[in-house]
Structure 1
Amino acid sequence: MDDNHLELVHLLRAVSIEFSLRQAEFAAANGMHPTDVRALVSLLDAARAAEPATAGLLGSRLGLNSAGTTAVIDRLERLGHVTRTRDPRDRRRVLLSVTPEATRLGQAFFGPAIETLAGAAASLTPTEHEAVRRFLATAQTAFGGCGGAAG
């Protein structure tokens, strides 16, 4: 594979490392474990997609077993970042949601970077936007199956 093609892979890897470092900083500044931050992001993504966020969904997204998932949810609930409510359509099921306070903390920390990225995305032509979207979707799929890890 030629270096020109690998440049995008290397940039994606560098972005991933920087994002992981910022997540760790955010976690440390707010008394959380880095997995807790990934859990919050997963729950926010589920809410954006109008998916019911359950412990099972969260565990699957984080690659955790039931005990590990419960520990994450318990920590986040103790910190006031997540609430558990009974599903009004199926009282046996518990739904998870991110609290407004946790959302505010995330916005305060990650908001400037997200605004910069959204601005960069807004400057793309529709063709460029589709190319970036396709590349990132392929990267997500590729890494979702990497080493047998859950996607």
Structure 2
Amino acid sequence: VNLVERALQFFDRLVVAVAYNPNKASLFSVEERLDMIRIALKNDPRVTAASFDGLLVEFVEKQGANVIVRGLRALSDFEYEFQMTLMNRKLNRKVDTIFLMTGFKWFYTSSKIIKEAASLGGSVRGLVPDVVHQRLKEKFPLYRNVS
């Protein structure tokens, strides 16, 4: 949410892209993730949430956009993102990538850490939007009693 809010300072319209990835075991389905994004962003008319499969650069072009906004947390993120940016640039020279540093509060936060803490009953409130906090309660029995 923080990254989207900050990116809106530079762009009039954003599309939050959620990839179908059959090789990744996600806690939430693509549809659930889209729903949580819409709720967390309070259905901001400047933001659309959409799913895609295939290449991100093709999805971006179909949306009529030419920029991918990505968040960076740590140096390890940069190496991976740099490689992806170079490949995306090779696949479609019309699409550029812009990086925004993650807010300090979320610098060491990842979906893996959030899921692990919640599955063991640890509170992640304040690190995730309220809608995600509630949905985690539905997924993890130990998290149901976390306020």
TM-score by length of 2: 0.33
- Which structure has more relative contact order (CA 8 Å, sep 6+)? It is 2
> Which protein is richer in helix relative to its size?
1
Q: Which has the larger radius of gyration?
A: 1
> Which protein is richer in strand relative to its size?
2
